[in-house]
Amino acid sequence: MADAAPAYNFAIRGLHWLMFVVLVVAAAGGVATLYLPHDSPLREQVMLYHKSLGLTLLGLVVLRVLLRLASGTPAYKPPLGKFNEKVAGLAHLLLYAAMIALPIAGYVTSMAGKHEFAWFGYYPVPNYIPANADLSKSAQQAHLALAIALGGLVALHLLAAVWHKLRGDGVYQRMWPAAKA
């Protein structure tokens, strides 16, 4: 096993795992709404939390990007090699892009479709999108495609984490909650 690799700082690791939980719960809510009757009060409540968690995820990913830019990334120890570093960089870029685009597409779907809402039922979410049924439908299709893509990217991310854990190369420990920064 490699020597302990430097870990991300506590804030980055905490945001990573918080975002994972928010993403899983939001995704479960989104899938659940597909199976609930369209006019059901339960569906409306689940959809409210799905939308609220999506906006929360958007805020968290922006915060995480800012923190990551400010703090940098720990070096790989031992180095991964150019190919693995490029693949990892591309995978992370795609994960971040999907985590930003997905809630934006959901927001456009809601607002263009005249489905305004309050964040967790308390704070009205400003509507900057004019009502437009075609735009809402297109954004909804993009939202679904992005959700599927993000699901695939998260699955690949999990497989990569397992691969690194099995290899014992220290990459897995960089983001593990108990890691020492």
CATH number where 21 lies:
1.20.950.20
The domain in which residue 82 lies consists of 10-172
Tokens 């699955």 sit on residue: 155
Nearest in space to 144 (alpha carbons), one of 108, 96, 92, 90: 108
**The model's pTM:** 0.91
Q: Tell me: the pLDDT tens digits for 82-135? A: 888 899 889 999 999 999 999 999 999 999 999 999 999 999 999 999 999 999
CA 76 to chain centre: 23
Counted domains in the chain? 1
Which residue numbers in the chain have pLDDT < 50?
Answer: 1-2
pLDDT of residue 2: 45
* Residue 1 lies inside a defined structural domain of this protein: no
DSSP secondary structure letter of residue 175: T
